[in-house]
Amino acid sequence: MKILIIEDDKYISAFLRVSLEKEDYEVLVGKDATEGMFLFSSYHPDIVLLDLGLPDRDGGEVIREIRQMSETPVIVVSSRSQEAEKVAALDAGAIDYVTKPFHMGELLARIRVMERLLIKLTLSHPEEEQFVCDWLTVDFEKRRVLVDGQEVHLTPYEYKLLCIMIRNRGKVLTYNYIIKELYGYESGGAEGVRVFMSNLRRKIEKDLTQPRFILTEVGIGYRWNDQ
């Protein structure tokens, strides 16, 4: 499990690094948003620990940038303890929030929760073995997605979203339903779902102006069409 720390306070990042390495995590440290994003796109960490008060950019912007690219869980580790700051970070797409000063034991417990979630996402699949329709094949056994016989890579959240849609094919799924299925609890807004859905569409649809599989139900959510 690879963890990226984006933190400008070198004492905190050194403490985090040592504590995490002791638990056998692989650790990368970026001292500001620019270096953090560079490490993020170069090394694809599994989890990001993010400070909000960074010298070059606000952490909230970093969360949004990460969300544009992937579903990697971001845990905010910040001294900003205002409720509004927490809500803003969660709305931007952070998955959890730890206030400084923090107990390493608590942070490690939250990281383990994320790990379990990531493993569950990787393993979860509907009961059927395969879904085949037109150009799309989803092999749930092997967890492979093929478009015209060519394998496409989906992130864990995209794959889970695809499974949720196929399992409920034909039904209109509300944003709230999808959020709950995807994360296991109700959190944040529909923004994350929209991002994952548009990534998923880009990967499996041929005509984005007239999607074959993922239909938008305006103002409500989405429906999987296999008719």
Q: Which is nearer to Ca ion, 50 or 138 (CB)?
A: 50
Which phi and psi angles does 88 have, rounded to 5°? -60, -40
What residues numbered 197-226 form the site for Ca ion, per CB under 5 A? Answer: none
Cβ-based nearer residue to Ca ion, 28 or 154: 28
Q: Residue 98 in 3-state DSSP?
A: strand
**Whole-number minimum distance, CB 70 to Ca ion, in Å?**
23
Q: Which residue is nearest to Ca ion (CB)?
A: 53
| Phi-psi sector, 114: left (phi>0), alpha (psi -120 to 50), beta | alpha
Cα separations in angstroms, 21 against 2, 3, 112: 10, 10, 14
Smallest distance, Ca ion to C-beta of residue 58, A: 11
The yes or no reply on residue 51 touching Ca ion (CB under 5 A) is yes
Contact 56, 32 (CB under 8 A): yes
Which residues are bridge partners to 2 per DSSP? 26
Minimal distance, residue 89 CB to Ca ion, in Å = 14
For residues 6-25, which are near Ca ion according to CB under 5 A? 8
Closer residue to Ca ion (CB): 77 or 197:
77
Asked whether the bond before 101 is cis by omega within 30 degrees of 0, the reply is: yes
Structure tokens at 19: 């504590």
Q: Mark the segment that binds Ca ion (CB under 5 A) among 39-47, 51-59, 82-90, 167-175.
A: 51-59
Q: Which is nearer to Ca ion, 8 or 35 (CB)?
A: 8
Binding mask 131-170 for Ca ion (x = CB under 5 A): ----------------------------------------
The one among 38, 43, 44, 53 contacting Ca ion by CB under 5 A: 53
Residue 189 in contact with Ca ion, rule: CB under 5 A: no
- Position 85 contacts Ca ion (CB under 5 A): no
For 113-171, the DSSP string reads: HHHHHHHHHHH---SSSEEEETTEEEETTTTEEEETTEEE---HHHHHHHHHHHHTTTS
CA–CA distances in Å: residue 52 to residues 32, 39, 49, 119, 183 = 10, 17, 10, 27, 23
Residue 31 C-beta: closest distance to Ca ion, Å: 10
Residues lying near Ca ion in the complex (CB under 5 A) are found at: 8, 51, 53
